Structure 1
Amino acid sequence: MKCPNQTDDVYGIKTVGSRKKTFVLWREVVMAYAAPAIMAGIGGLVTADRGLQIGALTTIGGASALMALIIGLLLRSRVGHMRWVIGAPHLVVVGGFALAGSLCGLCAAWVTSGLLEIRIPGNHLAWVDRVWTDFPLSGFIASTIVTWRWRLAVTTNFSSKRRRRK
């Protein structure tokens, strides 16, 4: 017989349903925006870099959230159900998506800076120079974290289904 936990009664802790980890895309996107924005904002405050403080809320946080949304939608679609994505080692899948996220960020920086130079000659926007660092780095970090968490949720759910069948 299993002994009940004493703190469950005192603090009203209840476990509802199973303990499977689930992948919820909106939470991943919110965290992909908030985490790098907060860290870069703190870095901007410590170094008194006003450009980094503004970039934390715009290019860094925004690029991370957008990349997390794109990668999350991609993983929830057919790509996430492909045999090589589920069957390959965890680090290989995460590394591949991190590289893809960096390349997407680099392409986005190229397009953004190219379009802004055509429309606004003279480079009046100081943050245009930041996108070459912010977009690829944000793409790398967001892709790594989202893919890592998605893969953990998939393997946890897959192994729990396998145990139920046996």
Structure 2
Amino acid sequence: MNKTTEYPNQTDGVYEIKSAGSGTKTFVLWREVVMAYASPAIMAGIGGLVTADKGLQLGALTTIGGTSAFLALMLGLWLRSRGGHKGWIIGAPHLVVVGLFALVGATFGLFAAWATSGLLEIMIPSNHLAWVGRVWIDFPLSGFIASTIVTWRWRLAVTTNFSSKRRR
């Protein structure tokens, strides 16, 4: 009788180590939102430190990071619920889909900047808030970055899962 069949290892399957390409990738929304916040916020914060621009340092944590996180959350929720049902999103080339969503994210950011600056102009006519002038750059750029990150990673997860199911 074989020793391994007589006394099976109690830890089999508990401490499995998977290689980098062995498992299917999953799309975890909270990780994508954190990445969408952290990536542009860190880069803009570094840019603010290098140029000694206090407005950019503050914008990195608020308008840049916040807009990116919000847009990543909204887009990620939509992609999880409706994105897989749209055949053109999965069927089109990866770069085309990411490019289209990046343009839509930047356009949404422009619309948000227009709405924010317009509403604040009505509510606060003197426009003493320094960050209002920054939203015309921060919101579209954040929308572009967040849409690119989320769509790229979602599409990789979907195509990886789709191709691994097709092979079985």
Asked if these proteins are the same fold (TM beyond 0.5), I'd say yes
| C-alpha distance in structure 2 between counterparts of 1:29 and 1:81, whole Å | 22
Provide, for residues 30-66 of structure 1, a one-character-per-residue CA deviation record: whole Å limited to 9, x for no partner.
1111111111111101110000000000000001001
Give the structure-1-normalised TM-score: 0.88
Q: Which amino acid aligns with 2:31?
A: R
Q: Which amino acid aligns with 2:162?
A: F
Q: Which amino acid aligns with 2:17?
A: K
Runs of 4+ in 1 over 3 A off after TM superposition: none
Q: Over aligned residue pairs, what C-alpha RMSD do you find?
A: 1.4
Give structure 2 stretches of 5+ with no counterpart.
Answer: 1-14
Partner residue, 1:38: 42
How many residues were matched structurally?
A: 152
* Higher Rg: 2
* SS class of match (1:21): coil
1:15-164 matches, within 5 Å, as 15=18, 19-164=23-168
Give structure 1 stretches of 5+ with no counterpart.
Answer: 1-11
Counting aligned pairs with the same residue, the percent is 80
Q: Quote how far apart the aligned CAs of 1:92 are.
A: 1.1
Give the structure-2-normalised TM-score: 0.87
| C-alpha distance in structure 2 between counterparts of 1:52 and 1:143, whole Å | 21
